[in-house]
């Protein structure tokens, strides 16, 4: 055997041993990674290495600086609404009625800003349905008012979602034609709206608690979002999934706004399809929806002056032009909404309103498409 052959053979043998060792070590690392305690650094980094996007803080701040403050603002306004209704029910006059209606509008503004993040316990535990189901069940509502039923807290809690919440309160406060006078309220109506207000404020509080404290023995949901990408987190097993939740929520809300809330009443020329038609508040709802979507992108809740690490800052880092276009897309959308004659409910057959609605839809769709086609791929 020549020296050359010997070396060649030895190399093969060494390479084989090397390969086997590598194979074995690969096997070992498989089993050891599974026995890592949840949330250890090594298991986190594995997930983060996967995609380019790995900014945990952006997802955590979304939960803590955007979602939770928005909900807390909603809780405060819901409590103020309940108090205002109470005052009105005790001393019904035009002044207290006006204040109560304004409290409803304020509460609505906070709530509609949360439209981009309606996921989580609000759905599971029924809070979303109890607060904001549409349409109103007018037939049941009239029957309830005609009945002798006592409006105990338990009774209100067990009502169907279409018999309570935002739109039942709206209907009672504003009337079906937006011309209800304080003197027209029957004692039953006053008692009913008062009981609905108390229930509403309670459910709002439970919703916020489900994110900050956890209810019914469940963990605080803000932590589920904030720990996206940790190995113990099966809800969001990657940081990317957490960031995607933010962007998909925005996209979903913008589709809802452009194609449904504005689109459907105009497409079908039906005034009854406007969501907040009793309070003539639909356009304000829509503006709040877009503002809420913008809040998610900017990582801030301006109403409460909170902010944190943002998607916007990340996008600005990797593609400054894209960030500019998203930001101006939101601004242009909001500006376009300002041009629609308000109340939108009374302008269904106004050609100028139709044109300005179409323009706003286009602006909203444009920013939505940028998010879909250009922003999403950067965080996936």
For other proteins, which is the closer residue by CB, 270 or 362?
Answer: 270
Residues 223-252 within binding reach of other proteins (CB under 8 A): 224, 234-238, 240-241, 244-245, 248-249, 252
- Interaction mask 204-223, other proteins, x per CB under 8 A: --------------x--x--
Candidates 78-86, 107-115, 157-165, 327-335; binding stretch for other proteins (CB under 8 A):
157-165
For other proteins, which is the closer residue by CB, 91 or 139?
Answer: 139
- Interaction mask 68-97, other proteins, x per CB under 8 A: ------------------------------
Closest Cα partner for 241 from 53, 44, 41? 53
Q: Does 33 bind other proteins (CB under 8 A)?
A: yes
- Please pick, from the candidates 39, 135, 302, 320, the single residue that binds other proteins as defined by CB under 8 A: 135
Candidates 108-116, 160-168, 197-205, 323-331; binding stretch for other proteins (CB under 8 A):
160-168
306-307 vs 300-301, strand pairing mode: antiparallel
Closest distance of CB 170 from other proteins, Å: 15
Determine contact, residues 36/231, Cβ cutoff 8 Å. Answer: yes
For other proteins, which is the closer residue by CB, 116 or 312?
Answer: 116
Closest distance of CB 21 from other proteins, Å: 10
Closest distance of CB 272 from other proteins, Å: 5
Closest Cα partner for 7 from 15, 21, 20? 15
Closest Cα partner for 279 from 89, 73, 82, 134? 134
Q: How many C-beta atoms surround the C-beta of residue 169 within 10 A? A: 27
Which residues are registered as beta bridge partners of 347? none
Residues 104-133 within binding reach of other proteins (CB under 8 A): 119-121, 123-126, 129, 133
Number of alpha carbons in the 13 Å side-chain half-sphere of residue 22: 6
Determine contact, residues 370/330, Cβ cutoff 8 Å. Answer: no
Closest Cα partner for 329 from 280, 372, 300? 372
Residues 35-74 within binding reach of other proteins (CB under 8 A): 35, 46-47, 50
For other proteins, which is the closer residue by CB, 138 or 209?
Answer: 138
Closest distance of CB 124 from other proteins, Å: 5
| Cβ-based burial of 254 (10 A; exposed 0-12, middle 13-18, buried ≥19) | buried
For other proteins, which is the closer residue by CB, 157 or 321?
Answer: 157
Residues 262-321 within binding reach of other proteins (CB under 8 A): 264, 272-273
Indicate the Cα dihedral angle 239, 245, 250, 251, nearest 10°. 110
Closest distance of CB 221 from other proteins, Å: 7
Closest distance of CB 77 from other proteins, Å: 24
Closest distance of CB 137 from other proteins, Å: 4
Q: Does 148 bind other proteins (CB under 8 A)?
A: no
Closest distance of CB 34 from other proteins, Å: 4
- Please pick, from the candidates 6, 42, 153, 338, the single residue that binds other proteins as defined by CB under 8 A: 6
Residues 163-192 within binding reach of other proteins (CB under 8 A): 163
């Amino acid at each position: 055997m020549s020296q050359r052959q010997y070396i060649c053979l030895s190399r093969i043998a060494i390479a084989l041993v090397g390969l086997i060792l590598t194979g074995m070590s690969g096997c070992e690392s498989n089993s050891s990674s599974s026995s890592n305690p949840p949330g250890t650094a090594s298991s986190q980094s594995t997930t983060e290495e996967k995609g380019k996007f790995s900014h945990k803080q952006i997802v955590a701040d979304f939960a803590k600086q955007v979602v939770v403050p928005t909900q807390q603002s909603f809780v405060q306004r819901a409590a103020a609404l309940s108090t205002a209704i109470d005052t009105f029910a005790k001393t019904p006059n035009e002044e207290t009625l006006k204040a109560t209606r304004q409290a409803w509008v304020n509460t609505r503004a906070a709530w509609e800003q949360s439209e981009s993040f309606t996921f989580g316990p609000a759905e599971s535990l029924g809070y979303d349905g109890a607060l904001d189901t549409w349409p109103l069940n007018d037939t049941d509502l009239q029957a309830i008012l005609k009945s002798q039923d006592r409006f105990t807290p338990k009774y209100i809690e067990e009502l169907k979602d279409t018999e309570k919440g935002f739109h039942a309160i709206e209907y009672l406060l504003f009337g079906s034609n937006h011309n209800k006078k304080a003197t027209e309220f029957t004692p039953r109506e006053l008692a009913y709206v008062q009981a609905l207000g108390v229930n509403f404020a309670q459910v709002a509080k439970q919703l916020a608690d489900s994110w900050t404290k956890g209810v019914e023995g469940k963990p605080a949901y803000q932590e589920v979002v904030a720990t996206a990408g940790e190995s113990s987190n099966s809800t969001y097993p990657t940081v990317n999934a957490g960031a995607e939740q933010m962007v998909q929520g925005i996209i979903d809300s913008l589709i809802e706004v452009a194609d449904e809330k504005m689109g459907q009443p105009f497409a079908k020329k039906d005034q009854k399809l406007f969501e907040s038609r009793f309070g003539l508040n639909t356009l304000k709802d829509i503006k709040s929806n877009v503002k809420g979507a913008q809040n998610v992108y900017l990582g801030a809740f301006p109403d409460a002056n909170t902010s944190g690490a943002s998607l916007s800052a990340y996008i600005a880092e990797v593609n400054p032009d894209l960030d500019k276009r998203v930001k101006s897309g939101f601004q242009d959308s909001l500006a376009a909404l300002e041009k629609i004659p308000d109340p939108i409910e009374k302008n269904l057959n106004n050609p100028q309103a139709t044109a300005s609605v179409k323009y706003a839809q286009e602006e909203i769709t444009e920013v939505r498409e940028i998010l879909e086609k250009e922003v999403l791929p950067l965080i996936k």
